[in-house]
Chains A and B, each alone.
Chain A
Amino acid sequence: MTAAEIARIKSDPRFRELEQKRNAFSWTLCIIMLIAYFAFIFLVAFGAHLISTPVWGVVTLAFPIGLGVIVLAIVLTGVYVIKANGEYDELTRQLVSSLASRRTFP
């Protein structure tokens, strides 16, 4: 790619939309995961007594919380794949094909 092509892509409204949407979405999910994990680690390190009461037979609150972190990790990655492989890849495809056609007919 030449410098002119790169500048043209960067100023293309579809590229702007793609980068803004995707960056916002991936950073949001990333921060959710970071907060969930470190909240969990701080809870077991400093607040074990808070989650040690049985809530379902002998099962304590710590179980759904731990399991929740595992499920959250799987769900967040799944949500991202659906969004990225659908909406974002469609935006990318439109962008790339418009660039290709513009290159053919300058």
Chain B
Amino acid sequence: MTTAFSGVMIKRVVAGVGATLFGASAAYAAGALEGPVQQQAVNVTAIVMFVGFVILTLGITYWASQRTRSAADFYTAGGGITGFQNGLAIAGDFMSAASFLGISALVYANGYDGLIYSIGFLVGWPIIMFLMAERLRNLGRFTFADVVSFRLAPTPMRSLAATGTLVVVAFYLIAQMVGAGQLIQLLFGLPYLYAVIIVGVLMICYVTFGGMLATTWVQIIKAVLLLGGASFMALMVLHSVGWSVQGLFAKAVSVSPKGQAIMAPGSFVTDKVTTISLGIALMFGTAGLPHILMRFFTVGDAKEARKSVFWATTFIGYFYILTFIIGFGAIVLVSTNPDYLVAGGGLKGGTNMAAIHLARAVGGDVFFGFICAVAFATILAVVSGLTLSGASAVSHDLYASVFRRGAANEAAEIRVSKVATVALGILAIILGIAFEKQNIAFMVGLAFAIAASSNFPVLLLSMYWRGLTTTGAAVGGWLGLITAVVLTVLSKAIWVTVFGNAAAIFPYDNPALFSMPLAFLGCWLVSKIDTSRRARTEAQEFDAQYVRSQTGIGASGASAH
């Protein structure tokens, strides 16, 4: 079966994006495995294990559907998730298949540089903890737009927040769908189209019938399977070198063609402005991702919200340490075994296969099948969270608040959210098919940049700055959103790679270094010159918001069943 991998070419994201460290990382860690992939022989073990996962999760969805009646049940699982469960679910929402395969592949190819990527994805979590989590929980109910429109005018704020949500969700979803299609060709030997349709249909089932409760449990199960599988691999790697960490690295250095260079930050960090810009996008973008922010409303109070972040940070940090060991393990165990290599020394199936080959090397065919099934399950968990968040923006923010001006009844709102889920699912399938052969490497980087440049500044200032007015927030938020999109279009990833122009107008691969400060500046400047009566009322209403955000008095609690 391993010989079937020969001749498979994955054009790696790294190759596509060039030598830019962080530009590649965003795509990798969140789901863009890109380039042409050849279908493999059918992998029966993996398919059987995946079918087992599907049956289990559909069973949970049925159970959840019996318990999902009110809008609070649908959006937030009734607020009854514990901090520990929510921390696992957040980790399941955040750790994608491509961060497992992509980061371990990056460590396999470049050693230490892979760790720099992981750290970027982790450091947003303490920021969420210190600045966002408890205030978010105390002020909001279903979406982060609830918080922004607490004292600011609902229509413009929810329109902005819903647009920010849908744009972030769309780019993220496309990357996940295309990644799913290609992974499934590679790991299961099924056609691309099947994979995209399977992912789309399952996610529609989970979200439409089981709402947040089913989505949460799918994410928890996936997180446990992924952490368990990765832990087993890391332990087997350490076992193979006689439990000596120093021995593992010494062996890796001795067999790697790059030698000692894999032990230090390398040539990858070539464009320093892009490196810093993406550092900003990752750190603050995490604190503006709508599907992540939404998870804080699933717990009962601020106390549980804080615990969620701690557990999420712990699991995600632990996971990135595992991928580091797995990458070095693959250097030692996979790069030295001709069974996994093609002529010339490359990996069969492309560099993204490092962790997959290592699974076979340390655990045989059954464990290999298990890891393939976990990789697919991982994509399902991530797309379900994204879809639910997008559907909430449509039903709760746009339909109930903007179109019906808060006069919608709950049953109608739930109906709209289910229709929106189905529509988003179908859209995701269509986009997945449309983007099969496209360059999607920029999409996740862009999603983080938009989250950092629109959702994050508006949300942060609305909670912390009395002076923020509706006009200021609208101008700043739209400015950040549009600047992030326009600068990305003018950068190499789209202007040169997609449109075929000779040179990029915007020279850096990530816009956040410019678009995020611009959004803050816009919010501040326009709020300062806004002397309307509405602006004065909004400043007065800050006190009520501030007291509630600090004490939780008046915050929505867990619904009783």
Question: Total A-B residue pairs with C-beta atoms closer than 8 Å?
Answer: 151
- Assess the A45–B131 pair: CB atoms within 8 A: no
Per-position 1/0 for B249-282, Cβ under 8 A of A: 1100100000010011110010010011001000
Tell me the bound Cα distance from A104 to B544 in angstroms.
21
> Within 8 Å CB of B208, what residues of A?
none
Tell me the bound Cα distance from A18 to B310 in angstroms.
21
Stretch from B165-173, B177-185, B401-409, B550-558 at the A interface? B550-558
- Assess the B547–A46 pair: CB atoms within 8 A: no
- Assess the A30–B126 pair: CB atoms within 8 A: yes
Tell me the bound Cα distance from A29 to B128 in angstroms.
12
Tell me the bound Cα distance from A81 to B133 in angstroms.
11
Per-position 1/0 for B519-553, Cβ under 8 A of A: 00000000000000000000000011001101111
Complex: chain A residue closest to B253, CB-CB:
A58
Tell me the minimal C-beta distance from B154 to chain A in angstroms: 20
The verdict on B112 contacting chain A, using a C-beta distance below 8 Å, is yes
> Within 8 Å CB of B426, what residues of A?
none
Tell me the minimal C-beta distance from B539 to chain A in angstroms: 14
Interface set of B (CB-CB < 8 Å, partner A): 112, 115-116, 118-119, 122-123, 125-127, 129-131, 134, 246, 249-250, 253, 260, 263-266, 269, 272, 275-276, 279, 283, 302-303, 306-307, 309-310, 313-314, 317, 320-321, 543-544, 547-548, 550-554
Q: Which of A6, A59, A78 contacts B547 (CB 8 A)?
A: A6
Per-position 1/0 for A52-70, Cβ under 8 A of B: 1010111110110011011
- Assess the B112–A63 pair: CB atoms within 8 A: yes
> Within 8 Å CB of A51, what residues of B?
264-265
Q: Which of A7, A29, A45, A84 contacts B269 (CB 8 A)?
A: A45
Tell me the bound Cα distance from A26 to B302 in angstroms.
14
Q: Which of B265, B306, B307 contacts A52 (CB 8 A)?
A: B265
- Assess the A58–B260 pair: CB atoms within 8 A: yes
Interface of chain B, main secondary structure: helix
Complex: chain B residue closest to A53, CB-CB:
B264
- Assess the B249–A58 pair: CB atoms within 8 A: yes
Tell me the bound Cα distance from A19 to B125 in angstroms.
22
Per-position 1/0 for A27-55, Cβ under 8 A of B: 10110011001101110111010011010
Complex: chain A residue closest to B269, CB-CB:
A45
Tell me the bound Cα distance from A72 to B188 in angstroms.
39
> Within 8 Å CB of B127, what residues of A?
30, 33-34
Interface set of A (CB-CB < 8 Å, partner B): 1, 3, 6-7, 9-10, 15, 18-19, 22, 26-27, 29-30, 33-34, 37-38, 40-42, 44-46, 48, 51-52, 54, 56-60, 62-63, 66-67, 69-71, 73-74, 76-78, 80-81, 84-85, 89, 92, 95-96, 99
Most buried by B among A26, A63, A73: A73
Q: Which of A60, A67, A80 contacts B130 (CB 8 A)?
A: A80
> Within 8 Å CB of B313, what residues of A?
73-74, 77
- Assess the B321–A26 pair: CB atoms within 8 A: no
Tell me the bound Cα distance from A73 to B312 in angstroms.
11
> Within 8 Å CB of A30, what residues of B?
126-127, 130-131
> Within 8 Å CB of A44, what residues of B?
116, 265, 269, 275
Tell me the bound Cα distance from A45 to B275 in angstroms.
7
Tell me the minimal C-beta distance from A30 to chain B in angstroms: 4
- Assess the B320–A57 pair: CB atoms within 8 A: no
Q: Which of B130, B263, B550 contacts A33 (CB 8 A)?
A: B130
Tell me the bound Cα distance from A44 to B44 in angstroms.
44
- With A60-B264, A77-B310 given, can you name 11 additional A-B contacts, CB distance below 8 Å? A33-B123, A33-B127, A37-B283, A51-B265, A52-B265, A60-B112, A63-B263, A69-B119, A69-B122, A73-B122, A76-B130
- Assess the A29–B307 pair: CB atoms within 8 A: no
Tell me the bound Cα distance from A73 to B122 in angstroms.
8
- Assess the A15–B550 pair: CB atoms within 8 A: yes
- Assess the A48–B547 pair: CB atoms within 8 A: no
- Assess the A77–B119 pair: CB atoms within 8 A: no
- Assess the A15–B551 pair: CB atoms within 8 A: yes
**A and B contact pairs by CB, cutoff 8 A, 26 listed:** A3-B544, A26-B130, A27-B130, A29-B130, A33-B127, A41-B276, A45-B269, A45-B276, A52-B263, A58-B263, A60-B263, A62-B112, A69-B123, A70-B118, A70-B317, A73-B123, A73-B313, A76-B129, A77-B125, A78-B310, A78-B314, A80-B130, A84-B306, A85-B307, A89-B302, A92-B551
Tell me the bound Cα distance from A92 to B547 in angstroms.
11
- Assess the B317–A73 pair: CB atoms within 8 A: yes
- Assess the B250–A41 pair: CB atoms within 8 A: no
> Within 8 Å CB of B552, what residues of A?
92
Most buried by A among B112, B125, B130: B130
Tell me the minimal C-beta distance from A38 to chain B in angstroms: 7
- Assess the A41–B275 pair: CB atoms within 8 A: yes
Tell me the bound Cα distance from A62 to B279 in angstroms.
18
- Assess the B264–A52 pair: CB atoms within 8 A: yes
- Assess the B551–A10 pair: CB atoms within 8 A: no
Complex: chain A residue closest to B128, CB-CB:
A77
Q: Which of A6, A18, A34 contacts B543 (CB 8 A)?
A: A6
- Assess the B246–A59 pair: CB atoms within 8 A: yes
Most buried by B among A41, A51, A57: A41
Q: Which of B126, B246, B554 contacts A57 (CB 8 A)?
A: B246
- Assess the B265–A77 pair: CB atoms within 8 A: no
Complex: chain A residue closest to B283, CB-CB:
A37
Complex: chain A residue closest to B246, CB-CB:
A57
The 4 closest A-B pairs by CB, nearest first: A52-B264, A44-B265, A30-B130, A26-B130
> Within 8 Å CB of A96, what residues of B?
551, 553
> Within 8 Å CB of B321, what residues of A?
67, 70
> Within 8 Å CB of B265, what residues of A?
44, 48, 51-52, 62
Tell me the bound Cα distance from A94 to B118 in angstroms.
41
